Amino acid sequence: MNVAVIGAGNGGQALAAWISNCGHNVKIYDRNESRVKQLKKKGFIELVGEANFRGFFAKISTKIDEIVFDADLIMVATTAIAHNSIALQIAPYLKDNQIIVLNPGRTGGALEFRNTLNKVGISKKIFIAEAQTLVFACRLIENGKVNIIGIKEKVLISALPSSDTSIVIKTLELFFKCFYPAKNVLETSFENIGAIFHPCVVLFNEAAIERGDQFYFYRDMTSGLARLIEQADNERLAVAKAYGYSPISAKDWVADAYVGVCGDTLCERMQNNPAYYDILAPKTINCRQITEDIPTGILPLSELGKVAGVPTPIFDALITICSFLLDQNFRKEGRSLINLGLEKYSVNEIKKIIM
């Protein structure tokens, strides 16, 4: 099978090596010329840690058309804020029955991708799916060498519409056994728990980050900050409920998703999670924890809340302050109802569209 991997970061390189090692023809796109040059020179990607082999790719290029034109499967492993631009770039080269998987989709990824293709008039039968999270916990050691820290046992995935999900999973099963069907893309979207943690931690450490104070992102959690995070999480749960979903709370998720987490409160669980110990805070406020999580996490949750009449005061305050802080119009550029293609619909209509 011909597989295109879009984006050669941590996840993209790991995916490319893994899939090629399963016997498929893998091509890689990245917009960064020097990264492409380095990988081209090396000719393969080495996985170490939980996996241990070399994956050879058929092609790597900064020209996206050369990578996607003959792909049966397109794995999009870029940051979520690039999804819209990727959709625009690949639209002219898409063919019937190609499968596109967003790894991960964050909140509303497949909806935005589908809407962008619709807007540029793509009427071909394209399968679009979003995964809840990346298959691997991994870290790039250097270009061409990825440390696979873990391989997840269960990753939810859904196509848009969800009636396509089984076809997507059947294809992915050629190399991964971890994918389970979510009910639909709302379920994967509401599971974007990272977006609940990240902007709060950065914002309420704003001046400390600017001053260059080093601290641990999760381990140095404080009780007031954790309470704010739980308020934000309550908004996520309330919005999800209005659409008929009951996702796990952030507090329970930390205990469920990781081994050896102690503590009763969210604050204690963040401080005491061994998997979090060494994660340092970003060194600048212009970081993915805001520039990705606000437009592709907090904003679409706030917007879905608006449709359902669920107030999201903390989300809205975060969006407002982050927009001023980074001088970006997240409300307009992010996954608004308009950019998700949902501006004309009610809760019930949205529930039907995704089925």
Which positions lie near its own copies, rule CB under 8 A? 201, 203-208, 210-211, 213, 215, 220-225, 227-228, 231, 285, 313-314, 316-318, 320-321, 324-325
In whole angstroms, the minimum distance from the beta carbon of 148 to its own copies comes to: 32
Distance (Å, rounded) from C-alpha 313 to C-alpha 318? 9
In whole angstroms, the minimum distance from the beta carbon of 263 to its own copies comes to: 17
In whole angstroms, the minimum distance from the beta carbon of 318 to its own copies comes to: 8
Which residues have a catalytic role annotated? 198, 293
Written as six digits, the tokens of 70 are 């003959």
Nearer to its own copies, 38 or 286 (CB): 286
Residue pair 322/203 in contact (Cβ under 8 Å)? The answer is yes
Give just the sign of the alpha carbon dihedral 313, 338, 132, 244.
positive
Nearer to its own copies, 228 or 342 (CB): 228
Neighbour-count burial for 46-66, b at 16+ CB within 10 Å, e otherwise: bbebebeeebebeebeeebee
Exposed/middle/buried for 138, CB within 10 Å: 0-12, 13-18, 19+? buried
Nearer to its own copies, 142 or 324 (CB): 324
Residue pair 273/259 in contact (Cβ under 8 Å)? The answer is no
Which residues touch 78 (CB under 8 Å, ≥6 apart)?
A: 6, 7, 9, 12, 86
Nearer to its own copies, 143 or 205 (CB): 205
Nearer to its own copies, 53 or 215 (CB): 215
Which residues touch 317 (CB under 8 Å, ≥6 apart)?
A: none
In whole angstroms, the minimum distance from the beta carbon of 190 to its own copies comes to: 21
Residue pair 300/107 in contact (Cβ under 8 Å)? The answer is yes
In whole angstroms, the minimum distance from the beta carbon of 292 to its own copies comes to: 18
